[in-house]
Amino acid sequence: MIRMSNLSFAYGEREILKDFNLELNAGETVMITGPNGMGKSTILRLLAGVLIPQSGEIDHGYPKGTDPRQKTAFLPDSLSFYRSMTPLEAAKFHAGIFGTEPSDLELAKRAGVDLSRHIYELSVGQRVLVQMAIILSTEPELILIDEVLHSVDPYLRDILFRELIQVMEEKNPTVVMVNLNFHDIEHLADRVIFLGRDGIRLDESVDLLKAKTRRVVAEEIPPEYPVLLTENVMGSRHHIVYPFDKKIGDIADENIREMDLTEIMTAFMGGEYGVS
């Protein structure tokens, strides 16, 4: 279990997190989402130990004296990582810092990366795979992936997710990903956290969230329904209802529809922007 307690963090005058609390269970896969500028990436950087909070603390649950950074694989959103090195040099350098064996870069080879080139010469997708190969080689207990995966093409994406799933199956690490788009990765998540203006707006298991959210198509709906967002879709009115408990009033079953995670999160996002 990882505990973030009463964390506050600001970049200069700009306060990003205030009295922030979050617990992560060992072995779970958590997706963090929400509008830009709410502190999603900051949370990852704090967990990774590359930022230090101004107040509050993070307990990774390791024995005293353990440096959490040694047990963490962090894929940041910037691709500045070891730019001027070759993948081989970067693997050695990284292993030197953490006192581990250098990555065999197998994942990068599978992605067709020429290991003698500088990292800045590689495509964005290839850079992500080199980085992933290096950070996963340290047998992490915590894997943090910031929102870089959307720039990886589908072929490399498949290689990358196969590798991640293999590591998840073998070592059962805790995984935290920051995502804006859930297409094709929503079934990796156990739990989703929506970070809004006032902190955590939603923190729920994916199964429960999907069970409790419905798109209701109707001109008017009974006021008992808690509506997250109402939108016009091709001439009909769609009301996103959360939490949906049971049918109220006279609405045909086919007008009460289940939703995927991207649709649900888009509705939360719209609610956050005050669109209605």
Partner 1 sequence: MYSIDSRSAIPVYEQLKRQIVLSIVSGRLDEEEKLPSIRELAAALRINPNTVAKTYRQLETDGYVSSRKGLGVFISAGVRELQSNRIEIFEELTDEYISKAAGLGLNADEIIKGLAGRLKGEIEHD
Residue 160 CB coordination number (10 Å): 23
Task: Tell me the closest approach of the beta carbon of residue 103 to partner 1, in angstroms.
Answer: 20
Q: Count the Cβ atoms, other than its own, within 10 Å of residue 139.
A: 14
Q: Is 258 an interacting residue with respect to partner 1 (CB under 8 A)? A: yes
- Gap between the Cα atoms of 181 and 149, Å rounded: 10
Rounded to a whole number of angstroms, the minimum distance from the CB of residue 24 to partner 1 is: 15
Residue with tokens 């307990």: 59
Does 33 bind partner 1 (CB under 8 A)? Our answer is no
Stretches 12-20, 92-100, 145-153, 185-193: which one binds partner 1 (CB under 8 A)? Answer: 185-193
49: tokens are 């130990």
Q: CB within 8 A of 172, min separation 6: which ones?
A: 26, 27
Q: Does 207 bind partner 1 (CB under 8 A)?
A: yes
260 binds partner 1 (CB under 8 A): yes
Binding flag, residue 192, partner 1 (CB under 8 A): no
**Stretch touching partner 1 by CB under 8 A, among 11-19, 133-141, 229-237, 247-255:** 247-255
Here the tokens at position 237 are 């009115």
211 binds partner 1 (CB under 8 A): yes
CA contacts within 13 A on the Cβ side of 134: 28
By CB under 8 A, is residue 219 in contact with partner 1? Answer: no
Nearer Cβ to partner 1 (188/227): 188
Helices H, strands E: what count in the chain?
7, 13
Identify the residue among 172, 222, 273, 276 touching partner 1 (CB under 8 A): 172
Question: Which is nearest to 270 in space by CA: 238, 222, 235?
Answer: 238
Contact residues: partner 1, CB under 8 A: 27, 29, 161-162, 165-166, 168-170, 172, 184-190, 207, 210-211, 213, 252-254, 257-261, 263
